[in-house]
Amino acid sequence: MRHFIDELKQSTACEIRLNEPLAEYTTWKIGGPADVLITPASKEELADVIRLIHKHKVPWTNLGRGSNLLVSDKGIRGAVLRLGDGMNYVRFDQDLVEAGASYSFIKLSVMAGKEGLTGLEFAGGIPGSVGGAVYMNAGALGSDVSRIFKSAEIVLETGELVRYGLEDMEFTYRHSVLHQLKGIVVNATFQLARGEKAQISEAMSANKKRRLLTQPLQMACAGSVFRNPPGDYAARLIEASGLKGLRCGGAEVSTMHANFIVNTGQATAEDVLSLMANIQRKVKEDSGIDLIPEVLAVGER
């Protein structure tokens, strides 16, 4: 690890932080330290870093905007990557939009609406980055990334920069090829359509109002914790099992939305994992359905 860090410092201009606590980089405000947190400013810097990681056989994790991750209390061994400002941009070209991977997915939906482009309204309540949304095939309100996706540039684990189209991504529900083929999205292009600005704005305002009334967005959380099973909703199943308000340590099943777990102030990753296990066990007992996590648990256990 020391040789990797020494070469990293000599060969790149990336921001590098050793033993950096990760709680403030996640929306759950939970997580121990990274051995080394690296922030590449551009896709070229990212490719250089990945090549060094590959050369030194260092384990690595992509943090993104930390919105769909539960970072272990013991932290993450190896390198943790967080994309920098050079990948935080948006460009419009008629009905196409290209966004850097670190750009906010919510902000992208707002900017598209201001351009009179429809197709991204579903993204207005999805926290996290464009890169994370592509990785997870994020979705809501009956739509998802796969419906508008055109292409993405990806740095593979060898450091090779490639462009993938829709078929290459193998999108399914909350899943993409990147779950098997390790790589990092650096930008994505979406195919939208012209619409009426007033109608788009009205739809987004209605969606936002509904979210504020039904989701605990004022508290530290990570969005939906479990995937919706076929033909049903995780939140309905959890609520039907009487689990709203259930606590483990500082983690609580939200009283507003049963598929959200909130950090009431001092929650640990172990609190969240214990609560998730209790939810899965009770829902299985009551309905026979296995709830599958949508959030990703990472780090040393």
Catalytic residue among 146, 224, 241, 254: 224
In whole angstroms, what is the distance from residue 231 CA to residue 289 CA? 11
CA distance 144 to 295: 17
How far does the chain reach from its first CA to its final CA, in angstroms?
20
Long-range contacts of 102-109 (CB under 8 A, 24+ apart): 102/64, 102/65, 102/129, 102/130, 102/131, 103/129, 103/130, 104/65, 104/128, 104/129, 104/130, 105/129, 105/130, 105/132, 105/133, 105/138, 109/204
What is the CA angle 51-56-62, rounded to 5? Answer: 60
* Cβ burial, residue 17 (10 Å; 0-12/13-18/19+): middle
Does residue 189 sit in helix, strand or coil? strand
* 174 flagged as catalytic: yes
* Active-site annotation holds for 211: no
In this structure, how many other beta carbons lie within 10 angstroms of the beta carbon of residue 200?
Answer: 21
Active-site residue, 294 included = yes
Angstrom distances, CA of residue 196 to CA of 91, 108, 120: 20, 17, 13
Q: Classify residue 33 by burial, with Cβ atoms within 10 Å: 0-12, 13-18, 19+.
A: buried
Q: Which is the catalytic residue, given 146, 174, 241, 254?
A: 174
DSSP 8-class letter at 229: P
Question: Looking at the annotation, which residues are catalytic?
Answer: 174, 224, 294
